[in-house]
Amino acid sequence: MTASLHPSPAIVCDAADIVHLRDRLAQWMVDTGIRQWTPGEYPVQLAADEAARGEWHVVRDAAGCLVATVRVVWCDPDFWGPGDQGGDAPAGYVHGLMVAPGSPVRGRDLLDHVAELTVARGLDRLRLDFVSHSDALRRFYVGYGFREVRRTVLPAPFPRMEISLMELPLPYSRT
């Protein structure tokens, strides 16, 4: 990834572009039969609040268009559950990893960025979740080095679906 396409912290005014990219990718999922996201379900105000907390990181191209984004949080009891092995465990938790079609940014680039942030924070693992039925996502994350910890069903108010919880020990080197 070139230096000009390096992720930077999002600001509140990036929220509409983040949601627009998510809706664009959600429509593609609906059109291709992937049951994960649906257009319009992620409110701009929620993305703005998350950006204000420093959770979103964005990549814009030379024209200023948002071409990739990722959200990182430092705990995730909603998806991982409470306790030492759950979402209260010190880790970087990846959400909302999105790359616009045709972007020179790759998902691996965003994961590298989140891994760097996590190690800089003194943490030794990266975690994420995805819908268990997505073989493409499973291949992508396993290919990066993640291993499945367990599967669970999303809690209410999230849509009822099985998710895979994945973890990657850090520091990690893709050589």
Instruction: Convert the pLDDT of each residue in 99-110 to its tens digit.
Output: 999 999 999 999
Instruction: Convert the pLDDT of each residue in 56-75 to its tens digit.
Output: 999 999 999 999 999 999 99
For 136, half-sphere exposure in the C-beta direction (CA atoms, 13 angstrom radius) is 5
3-class secondary structure, 62 = coil
Residue 144, domain extent: 3-169
Query: Which of 1, 172, 169, 5 minimizes the C-alpha distance to 90?
Result: 169
Helix residue spans in 59-169 (DSSP H): 77-80, 107-120, 135-144
| Mean pLDDT value across the chain | 90
Domain count, the chain: 1
Size of the chain in residues: 175
3-class secondary structure, 144 = helix
| Tokens of residue 171, six digits | 């520091």
pTM attached to this predicted model? 0.90
- Banded pLDDT at 3 (limits 50, 70, 90): very low
Secondary element (H or E) of residue 5: none
> Which CB contacts under 8 angstroms, 24+ apart, belong to 85-91?
85/149, 89/125, 90/123, 90/124, 90/125, 91/118, 91/123, 91/125, 91/126, 91/127, 91/167
Q: Say if 174 falls within a structural domain.
A: no
Q: Say if 27 falls within a structural domain.
A: yes
Instruction: Convert the pLDDT of each residue in 90-145 to its tens digit.
Output: 899 999 999 999 999 999 999 999 999 999 999 999 999 998 988 889 999 999 99
CATH code for the domain in which residue 48 is found: 3.40.630.30
